Amino acid sequence: MGLACGIVGLPNSGKTTLYSAITGTDPEDRQPHQFSTVEPKKAAVEVPDVRLQRISDYVETKKIIPGQMLVVDIPGLVSGASQGEGMGNAFLGSIKESEILLHVVRCFESENVMGSVDPAEDTEIIEMELLQTDQRTVERNLERIAKKVRIGDKEALVQKEVLEKAQACLQEDKPLRMGGFTDQEIETLKPLFLMSIKPVLFIANVGDDDVAGESDKVQSLREYASRTNASVMHLCGDLEAEFVRMDPEEREMFMAELDFTESGLTRLIHAAFDLLGLQTYFTAGEIEVRAWTIRKGDTAPVGAAVIHTDFEKKFIRAEIYSYDDLMELHTEAAIKQAGKMRLEGKDYILQDGDICNFLIGS
């Protein structure tokens, strides 16, 4: 699928280790050096969902297929990236393709990594590069539409008003996600691929001596996120990479020793999924039980198109019941008998946890 989470961070923040843990791959080189990622790397990752197994407990099936989310490991950045310093051009180009940013921030001490640890200062380096890039984009577009504005072009006048609002925000050194834009204004800005307007999840990468994320470093990052309209979570990237390499039984024992109810990666994937505005519906039958990823607010025909693009225009109706109904009544026959099997039309808004059977015309 095309909805991408871009993992960003300064060199040696641990972002490539985190990407490797999420995708179940090994980094090419675990030794610290200035740019551990020199080209964007992309991978589709499974979205953990315990409901899949529980559905298959009641619907006999041959296989279970989880939903997916695209993750991109974006080249490292140094100050000056917006002028092309370091891997700046590759960094900024990859960010444009990402729907949200997972911004990894170093909150650990290490003998192998040079320099002091200052999460807020490190975070601002990337934030300022995005701001400066957006400033130039907004200025160029204000110049571009100036002639249309002078002759009274109504669409250009609307664009000018929104661009000036964005410019004022950026001139105060505030990311555009703090700009209070309406949905309509965001649509006006969307073709510009502005970077600081994207939702951000700061990931405090902690050491194994702070798995609870209670250090002053993490707290400073939380305060920064609160000030700048961003979300934040913590995890230990090195520990998560170890979890991935363990067999399931060993991992379960190790997590129990640490009093973990779920891995940091599971929390991260779910947080990113929510930040993207995504949800899940299911299909369940003899061939497969499968999770399908859609946007919140998608109608039944749009959801059906995720299965096959032709299904949207050929959609007739959907036979739907909920995951909770299945957990309570156990069979489709019982669900129908209880009057909880619904027939929904083209205007139906799919809900998270719906189990669907689409009727498609020829």
Whether pLDDT at 79 is above 50: yes
**Strands annotated E in the chain:** 4-8, 41-47, 63-65, 67-73, 100-107, 200-206, 231-235, 278-284, 288-295, 315-322, 342-344, 354-360
169-172 long-range contacts, CB within 8 A, separation 24+: 170/131, 170/134, 170/135, 170/138, 170/196, 171/135
Q: Is the Cβ–Cβ distance between 91 and 125 less than 8 Å? A: no
Say how far residue 123 (Cα) sits from the centre of its chain. 18
Across 42-62, average pLDDT = 94
pLDDT digits (tens, 9 = 90+) for 114-142: 667 899 999 999 999 899 999 999 999 99
Q: Is the Cβ–Cβ distance between 319 and 332 less than 8 Å? A: no
Q: Do domains 4-49+66-115+198-275 and 129-192 have the same CATH topology?
A: no
Which tokens go with 151? 């002759």
Q: Which residues of 219-253 are buried (b: 16+ CB within 10 A; e: fewer)?
A: ebbbebbeebebbbbbbbbbbbbebbeeeeeebee
The domains of the chain are located at 4-49+66-115+198-275, 129-192, 297-360
Lowest mean pLDDT among 24-38, 129-143, 317-331: 24-38
Confidence of residue 253 (pLDDT cuts 50, 70, 90): very high
CATH number for the region 297-360 comes to 3.10.20.30
Residue 262 has, within 13 A of its CA and on its CB side, a CA count of 10
129-192 homologous superfamily: Obg-related GTPase Ych/YyaF, coiled-coil domain (1.10.150.300)
Confidence of residue 90 (pLDDT cuts 50, 70, 90): low
- Please enumerate in sequence order all residues whose Cβ is within 8 A of that of 127, keeping only pairs 6 or more positions apart, or say none: 175, 196, 228
Across 245-263, average pLDDT = 91
Per-residue pLDDT, 83: 54
pLDDT digits (tens, 9 = 90+) for 289-307: 999 999 999 999 999 999 9
Whether pLDDT at 69 is above 50: yes
Whether pLDDT at 29 is above 70: no
4-49+66-115+198-275 homologous superfamily: P-loop containing nucleotide triphosphate hydrolases (3.40.50.300)
Per-residue pLDDT, 94: 76
Who has greater pLDDT, 222 or 113? 222
Q: What is the pTM of this model?
A: 0.85
Whether pLDDT at 233 is above 70: yes
DSSP 200-235: EEEEEEE-TT-TT--SHHHHHHHHHHHHTT-EEEEE
